Amino acid sequence: MLEVFELKCSIQKYYWGKKGMESEVSRLSLAGGHIDSVDEQQTYAELWMGTLDKGMAKVKANGQDLKCWLDVNLEALGDASRAKFGNNLPFLLKVLSINSALSIQVHPDKECAAKLHKKFPELYQDSNHKPEIAIALSDFEALCGFRPYTEIKIFLEGTSEIPEFKVIIGSDLIDQFKKNNSDDQTLIKHIFYKLMTTDKDIIKQSIIYHKNKLKELEIAQKEIYLEKLFCQLDCWYPGDVGCFCIYFLNYIKLSPGQAIYLDANVPHAYINGDCIECMACSDNVIRAGLTTKFIDVKTLCETMNYNGAPAESKLFYGVRENVCTTLFKPPVLDFAVAYIEIPPNTTYDITVRHVASIVLVFHGECTVNGPSSHFIFSKGKVIFIPANVPVKIIAGSEIVCIYQAFANV
């Protein structure tokens, strides 16, 4: 029988990450032996645990790429996973530490991803879709999905707070939308496209006007919804059209342990905080704002889901699998995530999965016993468990918290 083994994983140092030891990514990476030191001036944005080429995990014992190990140990993936996804892991597990907002974006579905990859392979580097789940590790902020249309109408009316929309979008479209009593996705699509394609100088000037208006209202001691968020986004991305997107998309605040699931074509942007993220094994992103990277407004607006729904509808709840395990099981086959919490000085048999899994020890120290192996693992350690391999965990003197990702088949 195959054995469990430790992985050494990759770090991404994107500009929006948290710096130095303020980053959960750097703290986990240092504690787990993925990096040797932390530079307090460096950003540490993402810890990648999987087989995507630009962030390949390695077998810690010998430095071999995990994908190469899997190529000669295919049974480790499990029959069900191989039947559906072939001879590779279908998921990528991450930790994110976010200091400034990520881009407003969507992930294409499989059909769209294949077309984009064929037409623009340098921009869309694979043909896979990228649904994902984010589970908060700290207080976490995000934009996710369109607001209920009734809320958007209130903002567009905005004669006292947001008159700039009449300049950007035009009175005709706004009046049509206000008078329409149904959830007309065609109208909101036209309005959003008009916002995203308005001349940049007009957007910049409108942002200045809007900020000045917000300051006037603040001086008058009027508390304005989203004022701080608008000003913060403009501070991070001056004059960016994405600042106005907060009046169209749900602003969500998660507490540790809460989650959101992002299916294909759902507009979103992570703003601040730390999270576990798991996704299909892909790096396809269609961006349109709050970014210095390539933006593709036309493709984003053509593919985006314009359904309006309340913020609370975007929360994704785990289900209790057993006394120690909460299972986050999204409606895709590529991945699921189990959160395992083991009390101090307790022995726990991890549920045997018939597919391969990757495990991150988030907190605590434990003994991990495989079929014939014995390891002491602590915070930041990452473990690969082959399919059908039983694993026993013995918690030390404090609670042990673990995240486990695996194919949802």
Q: Which of 27, 147, 287, 353 is labelled catalytic?
A: 287
Q: Which two tokens stand for residue 396?
A: 């030390």
| 80-95: average pLDDT | 96
| Residue 161, pLDDT score | 60
Q: Is the pLDDT of residue 55 over 60?
A: yes
- Does residue 383 surpass a pLDDT of 70? yes
- Give per-residue pLDDT as tens, 13-28: 999 999 999 999 999 9
- The 8-class DSSP code of residue 214 comes to H
Give yes or no for a contact between 333 and 409, defined as CB atoms under 8 angstroms apart.
Answer: yes
DSSP state of 283: -
**Res. 9 pLDDT band, cuts 50 70 90:** very high
Confidence tier at 378 by pLDDT (50, 70, 90): very high
Angle at 64 (CA atoms; ends 59, 68), nearest 5 degrees: 105
221 pLDDT more than 70: no
CA 296/CA 314 separation, integer angstroms: 25
Backbone angles phi, psi at 337, to 5 degrees: -130, 130
* Residue of 149, 144, 155 lying closest to 184 (CA atoms): 149
Residue 82 among the catalytic residues = no
Rounded to whole angstroms, the maximal C-alpha distance in the chain is 72
pLDDT of residue 126 exceeding 70, the answer is yes
Identify whether the C-beta of residue 90 lies closer than 8 Å to the C-beta of residue 407. yes
Q: What is the pLDDT of residue 288?
A: 86
Nearby residues of 285 by Cβ (< 8 Å), 6 or more positions away: 103, 105, 106, 107, 130
Q: What is the DSSP string of 355-390?
A: S-EEEEEEESEEEEE-SS-EEEEETT-EEEE-TT--
**Is the per-residue pLDDT at 168 higher than 90?**
yes
Contact 137, 240 (CB under 8 A): no
Look at residue 220 in the predicted model and tell me its pLDDT: 57
* Distance (Å) of CA 73 to CA 81, 86, 169: 14, 13, 57
Map out the domains of the chain with their CATH numbers. 8-144+252-285 (2.60.120.10), 149-247 (1.10.441.10), 324-406 (2.60.120.10)
| Other beta carbons less than 10 A from residue 252's beta carbon | 20
As a residue count, the chain comes to 409
Specify the pLDDT at position 92. Answer: 97
Can you tell me the distance from the alpha carbon of 197 to that of 50, in angstroms, rounded to the nearest whole number?
Answer: 37
Average pLDDT over residues 176-189: 83
Specify the pLDDT at position 271: 97
**Residue 294 to residue 124: CA distance in whole angstroms:** 11
Query: Residue 74: pLDDT band by 50, 70, 90 thresholds?
Result: very high
pLDDT of residue 141: 97
